[in-house]
Amino acid sequence: MDDLVDFVRGPGFVLDFSDTSFAEFFASELKVNIDEPRFAVNGGSKGKRLRFFLQSCGDATAGRALAALWEHRTEYLARAGVSDPVVNSEARYQALVDRLSGGAASQTKSAKPTLSRLDRDTLAAIKADLLRVSALAPQTRGYAFERFLKTVFDANGLAAEEPFRLRGEQIDGSFLLGSETYLVEAKWHGHAIGVADLHTFHGKIEQKAAWTRGLFVSNSGFTEDGLVAFGRGKRVICMDGLDIYDMLDREIPLTQVLERKVRRAGETGAPFVRVRDLFPQ
């Protein structure tokens, strides 16, 4: 593990993390305060705290930590524009994950995720369904788009719920990502979504439990002025039609798309970052 994470700044460091970003990474990805003294019993460096954490937590938690670290590592190499300096790094990482999972096959969070043959059959059906939605008349397309999204959520194991109505408001659906509930707003309009619709949806989120989040899906996208006026640090992430196209065309699981959007929102406060920027080719 040391070889995989100390190549940027040397022994005792973890990738390009500062003390602050290291703590934020553990808080956002694992809901863990890595600055607690119990993690520093063998030393206070980031590397020693990481090693103690991996040795003392359960296998499932360690696997989640390794997956998140690998994703950050991949993004760092892409941003830096350098090749991986560690020989056979992905195979060595996968060996760690396999040991934690008892040797079962695990999917590496690489920059180009792959799907099984069965998943590709499902993917082909989803693409055909999207084409059918595109051909519908405007008055029926909105509800069909909601049903299409539920199919996508279900195919990715996100426990999606049908659209439902609370007193005075319509919710286009919901799903679970990790331990958090996400409400869905789905729009297929002829124009890009502006700040008013974003604020209206965020208002629905703020009336729910503190752990509730929101996903706003607009096939026609969002206006730049609307995103600026909406601001940062909200409990909403956004997807547009180009995101859906890139996700399906490049066979990227929706769970990975959402996880990276959530992480980037946590790092920058921005509610909308395109899939092609989150998964550089």
What would the pLDDT profile of 226-252 be if each residue is shown by its tens digit?
999 999 889 999 999 999 999 998 888
Per the structure, the complete domain to which residue 60 belongs is given by: 2-100
Confidence band of 170 (pLDDT split at 50, 70, 90): low
Q: Are residues 52 and 41 in contact, defined by beta-carbon separation less than 8 angstroms?
A: yes
Among 14-18, 163-167, 242-246, the range scoring the smallest mean pLDDT is: 163-167
The pLDDT mean for the chain works out to 84
pLDDT of residue 275: 94
The per-residue pLDDT for 224 is 94
- Are 46 and 93 found together in one domain? yes
Q: With CA atoms as reference, report the closest residue to 230 among 263, 269, 178.
A: 269
Question: Cα separation of 13 and 6, whole Å?
Answer: 5
Say if residue 102's pLDDT is above 50.
yes
Q: Do 127 and 262 sit in the same domain of this protein?
A: yes
Contact 181, 213 (CB under 8 A): yes
Domain final residue pick, 74, 100, 126: 100
Give the containing element (helix H, strand E) for 184: strand 180-187
- 194 and 268 in a common domain: yes
Beta bridge partners of 213: 182
Strand segments, DSSP code E, in 41-120 are: none
Residue owning tokens 């590592």: 73
**In a shared domain, residues 68 and 12:** yes
Q: Are 232 and 271 in contact (CB under 8 A)?
A: yes
Question: Are 80 and 130 in the same domain?
Answer: no
For 138, residues 6+ apart whose C-beta sits below 8 A from its C-beta are 190
Six-digit token pair at 175?
């799903």
| Same domain for 168 and 130 | yes
Amino acid symbol at 67: A
Which amino acid, residue 37? P
Average pLDDT over residues 29-43: 89
Residue type, 85: P
The last residue of one of the domains, among 39, 68, 100, is: 100
- pLDDT value of position 167: 54
Q: Reduce the DSSP state of residue 200 to 3 states and report it.
A: helix
The pLDDT of residue 164 is 59
| 163 and 234 co-located in one domain | yes
Alpha-carbon span 272 to 198, nearest angstrom? 11
- Of the candidates 136, 111, 138, the one whose C-alpha atom is nearest the C-alpha of residue 279 is 111
- Number of domains into which the chain is organized: 2
CA nearest neighbour of 186 among 161, 215, 224: 215
The pair of structure tokens assigned to 125 is 């059906």
Q: What is the CATH number of the domain that holds 272?
A: 3.40.1350.10
The whole-number pLDDT of residue 166 equals 56
**Distance (Å, whole) CA 31 – CA 180:** 12
269 occurs within a structural domain: yes
Nearest to 270 by CA among 259, 280, 262: 262
